[in-house]
Amino acid sequence: MLEYVVACKAEELPPGKSIVAVHEKSPIAVFNVDGAFFAVSNLCPHAAGPLEYGFIEQGRIVCPWHGWSFPLSPEDPPNDGLPRYRVAIEEGEVRVLLPAIEPGKGWR
C-alpha cells in the first residue's frame, strides 16, 4: 500500500539543502535541487555512506565517501541498488511516497 509520509515543512528545505527523514528505522535523504525535490535511501549501496552529505552533479547524487554517483530521478531507475521515492509538496509539506521504488524493478 502506498502512503505519503511528511518529511519536513517545505520552508525547512530550501534549494541546495538536504535533510534526512527516518521512517520505520529507514533513513531517507531528501534533496531540494533548484526547487525540485528528490528522495532516496540515505545509505549508499556501496558501503552505506551518508548520501545526505553528498553533492549533486548533473542530476546525480555523488556519495561523499568514495564518489559513486546515482541518478536522483525516480523515473526508470537503473539497477544500482539505491531505493528511490516519489516526493510531493502539499500544504507546505514535503511528503515522501512510500514504499520505495526498487532499483530496476519499479514499485515494490
Binding region for ligand FES (CB under 6 A): 44, 46-47, 49, 63, 65-68
Closer residue to ligand FES, CB minimum distance, 23 or 46: 46
Query: Closer to ligand FES at the Cβ: 49 or 74?
Result: 49
Could you tell me the three cell numbers for 42? 540515505
Unique residue bearing C-alpha cell 519499479: 106
| Closest approach of ligand FES to the CB of residue 8, in Å | 24
C-beta of 32 vs 69, nearer to ligand FES = 69
Residue 108 near residue 67, CB atoms below 8 Å: no
Query: C-alpha grid cell for residue 53?
Result: 552529505
At 1, the amino acid letter reads M
